[in-house]
Amino acid sequence: MKYDRCNLPNGIQVTVTPVFGGFKFNAKDHARYNSFPPEWIVCLHTRVHQNGSSSEAANTEQSSQPFTTPSLNNDALYLTSMSLPSRQDQKPGSAPTRQVAMVLWITFLWYFQEPSPRASRKVPKSRPRDGETDPVWRLTVQRRGMLCRRDQMMKLERLGLVASVDTSVGAENEMDDFSDIFISQRAFWQLDPRIYLFSLSSVEITPGQLCPSPTSALDSLGSGFPFGAGPNTSGSFLPSYYPPQPVQYVYTGNVRHPLRPKPYRQGEVFYARFVPSGGEYLTFRVPVMPVKNNLQRRTEPGTYSGEGPDLCLDSDLANDLKLVYEWTHKRPQDAALPQKGSMEEQSYFLRDRLSSQNSFPSLVCWDSSPVGYFELFWVLEDPLGRSLENVDYYDRGVRCFLGDRDFLQINCIKRCASALVHHCWVYDQRTRTVVFEYRADNLDTTSALRELGFTKLHETREPDAHNMIMVITRDAWVGPEL
């Protein structure tokens, strides 16, 4: 295997070592994380013909050999054992299925960050005919070991973690219809990790306290995290994800659209992922406007200020406005970018973006160091959406790339754009299309987006702007850049 460790979106590092018949996973410094299993072992093997050639036919007699490198659809896995934390660190009555789902999600993350067995990540130029599908990278999950319990597979399937080939009820009143269970690479990257990575805050438990209260847990959310508390950090023993709100419709001008959920607050980290090829965490967070006596808001550990945790651990939060100001003056004039002006004028621009009803500004950070700026918006009620056809209720848009010179290089743009699309898919499963709007003369961005599967949709030519509009659909996306 190429990688012997797995860096989780919440900052925890899990090491992976080969053992007889499989791999052992060890959570580094697991004692600091409540109810997080210290270690578990999975059996991973590759199914082959008895003559040694790979097989995809279900009715062919197969044997197995030790796993070395991923195959397209011949690898199989099951959970053999799992160590649990001390009972004093666990909430009474915690659901064992959720712990199994958590360790399986981490195992899948490690497996699918390996190089793809497909020859290329590029999307085919033509769509397959009816009845045909693109090659899908699948991992079979076997009903053996700790997964052989009668209702275990059923619960994991209903959690959305795995899928079944057989989608019928089953004529026999048995659980054998859950024998053809699998997880695909494309489906895995569309799972929201907040469903499976739960109760992972670094909360210090006082003697005699079995479960920390939500209030006392807030002050320790960022402890030990490379870039502060992120979207996968929770102060309770419940998942930090809940389904979208019921749909309610409102009007913006003459456009009828769903009422949008309230965005993240200033400084909040809303996306975090370790990029193995870069060796760093890629995060997105909302900029912070300068406030007076901001550092006085911080309190000593163990006390609750009543204002919630500080989700941005930069030493000087006022630098966000300064960064946008400096980046703006290094780029040509563009209607899609912040306009050049004084620091005070830039402050008005950023406040206007933070006050928008259908968009919000964001910063790209590598290991908590901001390197770029972009804006996320809902296409339907945006002025851009009024010039496009067939815009869906939940289509998302990304406007402009602005930042350091290193950030505007093609490799960095690919990782950032791929992560932005990943966030849009995970944020709402109803989003089918992501639209990018940027300067048309930025050839590196065009090249990077084309390699990710984007296609040209539209090009605007106005007196003060010449912008390119590229689009990608959920069906054309093959996973984030690793």
Q: How large is the angle between the packed helices 443-451 and 410-427, nearest 10 degrees?
A: 50
**Farthest CA pair distance, the chain:** 73
Scan for tokens 């666990």, then name that residue: 90
The count of C-alpha atoms lying within 13 angstroms of the C-alpha of 451, restricted to the half-sphere facing its C-beta, is 17
Handedness of CA 77, 81, 87, 89 (dihedral sign): negative
Q: How large is the angle between the packed helices 343-354 and 319-329, nearest 10 degrees?
A: 110
Scan for tokens 């997105």, then name that residue: 284
Residues 6+ apart with CB under 8 A from 204: 220, 302
Instruction: Return the number of other C-beta atoms located less than 10 Å from residue 117's C-beta.
Output: 15
The β-bridge partners of 225 are none
The C-alpha atoms of residue 27 and residue 13 are separated, in whole angstroms, by 6
Burial class (CB in 10 A: 0-12, 13-18, 19+), 474: middle
Residues 294/381, Cβ–Cβ less than 8 Å:
no
Residues recognised as catalytic: 437
For 111-231, strand residue ranges (E) read 138-141, 163-164, 181-184
Residues 240/198, Cβ–Cβ less than 8 Å:
yes
The C-alpha atoms of residue 123 and residue 455 are separated, in whole angstroms, by 11
The C-alpha atoms of residue 361 and residue 338 are separated, in whole angstroms, by 11
Residues 404/340, Cβ–Cβ less than 8 Å:
no
The C-alpha atoms of residue 358 and residue 53 are separated, in whole angstroms, by 54
Q: Which residue type, as a one-letter code, is found at position 46?
A: T
Residues 426/441, Cβ–Cβ less than 8 Å:
no
The C-alpha atoms of residue 74 and residue 124 are separated, in whole angstroms, by 23
Q: Quick one: which H or E segment has residue 103? A: helix 96-112
Handedness of CA 465, 364, 377, 354 (dihedral sign): negative
